[in-house]
Amino acid sequence: MPKLALIHTVGSLPPIFAGLTSEALPGVETTDLVDEALLGETIAAGRVPEATADRLEEHVRTAVRNGADLVLVTCSSMGPAVDALAERGLPVLRVDEALADAALRAGSRVGVIATLRTTLRPTADLIRRRAVDLGRAEGDVDIVTELVEGAFDALKAGNLDEHDAKVRDGLRRLIPKVDVIVLAQASMARVAATLEPDEAQGRPILASPRLGVQRAAERLGLRPAEAR
């Protein structure tokens, strides 16, 4: 039986991914580890600090020692550190890789929206790199970013209405400028779903969790139906 380990930096994410993996990969054994300090340290530093990257690596190596065939890191802010681990040969996958590919298939003007600068830049950088990997011509992809100031602080303070209103306004600003929108944080998917159809103007709005789980299935050599 394949084994997938998931590393989270937000405590509310394990149930979300549990539902997705049970639906798409019912034959895959999964484990979850939550280390919220990984994200807190990254936000404080404005990047992934070396000590934080080292702790993430230890989490990944522990998961592999415990039998994981693949480790899925569900926090986009950890993306640069995950890339470094993958380059060293560890079986690790960033949750937004498939998200970037899907966005590039959907159009050339890609909007990226985030409530954290530490998530916004890694996501935009990933899309640029994947465009090269997928053979897109230089200058073919235009990335438009939207940082929703104050929304993350509102979320942390428990002010969900304020968070949602700020994200909704950010989406409305971004939609007319692009062909497709990438939600750099999965927490915004719930807000995007509240937009009226005419507000979305037919633009796809993509989030990472489901696409990330599907990419994990591919990396494990499985199609979702084959995981049973």
What is the tens place of the pLDDT at every residue in 100-114?
A: 999 999 999 999 999
Same domain, 88 and 76: yes
Output the pLDDT for position 142: 94
% the chain with pLDDT above 90: 75
Which position has the token pair 């993430």? 56
Same domain, 73 and 102: no
This prediction has a pTM of 0.89
Note down the domain range covering 49. 3-95+210-227
For β-strands 109-114 and 142-147, DSSP reports them as parallel
Same domain, 142 and 129: yes
Same domain, 137 and 78: no
Count how many domains the chain has: 2
CATH code, domain with 40: 3.40.50.1860
